[in-house]
Amino acid sequence: MSDNPESLKQFIREHKLEAVSVTVPDLHGIARGKKVPARRLLESAASPMRMSNLMVMLDYAGMPHPPPENDDRWWPSWNEGYADTRMVVDPATARIVPWQPATGLVLGDFEHVDGRGILEYLPRATLKRLLRRLADRGFESRASIEMEFMLLDETHGSVAEKGYRNLKPLWPTPQAYRLTTLGIHDERLSGMSRALEGFGLPVEAWNAEAGPGQVEINLAPAAALDAADQGFLFKHGVKELAAAGELFATFIAKLSPHGFGNGTHLNFSLWREGENAFHSPSSETGMSPVMRHFVAGLVRTLPEFTLMYAPTVNAYRRFVPYFSTGMMLSWGFDNKSNAIRCVTESPSLTRIEQRTAGGDANPYLLLAACIAAGLYGIDNELEPPPPTLGDAYADTGLGRVPATMEQALDLFEASEVANTYLGEDFVRFYAHSRRIECRCFAEATEGADADGVTDWEIARYLEMV
């Protein structure tokens, strides 16, 4: 759809919509917004609504993040009464919600009502800033997101009644790539995929994964902002569709201390004038200098950017060797034991795959972190270390990502690369929100054995990530 505001009105009329969900991703990747009568969008010449800036500062439990201490810079708070922000809709994102009658959805960004412009620290705005930096260097981007999630034979009511424990997966044992499992549950899984297609998400494939009740659905490549929008809407849609089918979907990084958790894999490439800038036909490896520099930036910044790939306390439970977690500070060719997997089999398919992120990652911030890291590598013409060709988990010479969120947070806040490429405001807001997560976890588990996945983690993240 066009980004012309009138195109949104035409879309509403064409599909005879009665309501539209006006939606913004918050710092965690949670869909926040309001549902409004379609007539309001037809009558409005500009923004259809305002929302309190409280909305963008809620934690996973729905409480506002208090301002940092001893910091007099702007922060949404009771000091200003959580003033309103104004929605700026993106007409190009308008779509039908097939499982809700006569309902559409449109994404957007928020801006201050006093003329200070867009809230640049929010995830979608942060990614758009980085894409502009890519464009200034003559690059276009192509990305696809692969997301794992678990389907539980539960409802929202039954999960709460059980206290978030002893939950029943849709199938009880690992069934990785087993087609019989897909066939047994075809009505639900194929039905979900068809509904997601109707929601404007280009589904390429789906399969059973290596955990009980675990599914992976792959989306087709798209421009980076579109890919992030699709990843965000995918998580939102899967949760609603599962609930409509009397199931419960969760993207929590680690539901149990045993076995596989949920991951998010990002496939990414840069293009210039219709050609894949990552590919070099004259190189023995197929990698261009641009790709080498990009990979070097990814590997070099992995410790300080882990906070964006692993945004919850629970995410660090996932970093266990031999569970395909992207935890090693390494790269290699088509080698899934590395954090960065490089594929160079053809000019069109040459790409990197970032494998560190958990299912709880915010798709906008996953892409923003990768682009910031890659730009840092390109701008400084960094060269990557030698590729790891064998078992990266067994290589004692390799480093690993931070083991806890506290460690990741300290590295992120102090990162010159993060502050330069992501922006000081984003680093300030995002780091403070993660520090509050660490504090809440410490208070909830004080004196308890927190080595396994705690009840607090399940209750806090099961539904919300």
Residue 224 identity: A
Residues 111 and 179 grouped into a single domain? no
Domain identity same for 232 and 336: yes
Confidence at residue 4, expressed as pLDDT on a 0 to 100 scale: 74
Cα-based distances in Å from 220 to 17, 150, 238, 266, 357: 27, 21, 17, 11, 19
Whether 293 and 396 share a structural domain: yes
- Of the residues 119, 148, 168, the one at which a domain ends: 119
The three-state secondary structure class of 234 is helix
| Per-state percent for the chain, helix, strand, coil, to nearest 5 | 40, 20, 40
Q: Among 89, 119, 149, which residue terminates a domain? A: 119
Tell me the backbone φ, ψ of residue 4, rounded to 5 degrees. -70, 130
- Looking at residue 118, what is its pLDDT? 85
Residues 149 and 254 in one domain: yes
Same domain, yes or no: 312 and 178: yes
Same domain, yes or no, for 62 and 137?
no
Q: What's the confidence (pLDDT) of residue 447?
A: 62
Q: Is residue 124 part of a domain?
A: no
Domain at 231, CATH number:
3.30.590.10
Is the domain of 110 the same as that of 172?
no
**Chain centroid to CA 344:** 25
Q: Tokens 């309103």 map to which residue?
A: 84
Pick the closest to residue 298 from 345, 350, 357, 216 (CA basis): 357
Last residue of a domain, one of 68, 100, 119: 119
What total of structural domains would you count in the chain? 2
Tokens found for residue 115: 């003329």
Whole-number pLDDT of residue 1: 60
For residue 353, being part of any structural domain is answered with yes
Shared domain check, 278 and 159: yes
Residues 250 and 152 in one domain: yes
Q: Tens digit of pLDDT per residue, the chain (465 long)?
A: 666 778 899 999 999 999 999 999 999 999 999 999 999 888 875 555 788 888 888 999 999 988 888 888 888 888 888 888 888 899 999 999 999 999 999 999 988 887 778 889 999 999 999 999 999 999 999 999 999 999 999 999 999 999 998 999 999 999 999 999 999 999 999 999 999 999 999 999 999 999 999 999 999 999 999 999 999 999 999 999 999 999 999 999 999 888 899 999 999 999 999 999 999 999 999 999 999 999 999 999 999 999 999 999 999 999 999 987 899 999 999 999 999 999 998 999 999 999 999 999 999 999 999 999 999 999 999 999 999 999 999 999 999 999 999 999 999 999 999 999 999 999 999 999 999 999 999 999 886 666 789 999 999 999 999
> Do 445 and 370 share a structural domain?
yes
The full DSSP string for 265-334 is EEEEEEEETTEETTB-TTSSSSB-HHHHHHHHHHHHHHHHHHHHHS-SGGGGGG--TTSS---BS-EEES
Compute how many other C-beta atoms are within 10 angstroms of the C-beta atom of residue 203: 18
CATH code of the domain covering residue 78: 3.10.20.70
311 contact partners, CB below 8 Å, separation of at least 6: 28, 358, 360, 361, 362, 365, 434
**Residue 3 pLDDT:** 64
Pick from 356, 210, 382: which is nearest to 296 by CA?
A: 382
Is 237 in the same domain as 210?
yes
Alpha-carbon span 127 to 367, nearest angstrom: 7
Collect all residues with Cβ–Cβ distance below 8 Å to 173 and sequence separation of at least 6.
212
Tell me which H or E stretch contains 322.
Answer: none
Looking at the fold, whether 33 and 175 belong to one and the same domain comes out as no
Domain containing 98: what range?
5-119
| Residue 125 in domain | no
141 contact partners, CB below 8 Å, separation of at least 6:
131, 134, 223, 224, 268, 269, 270, 271, 371
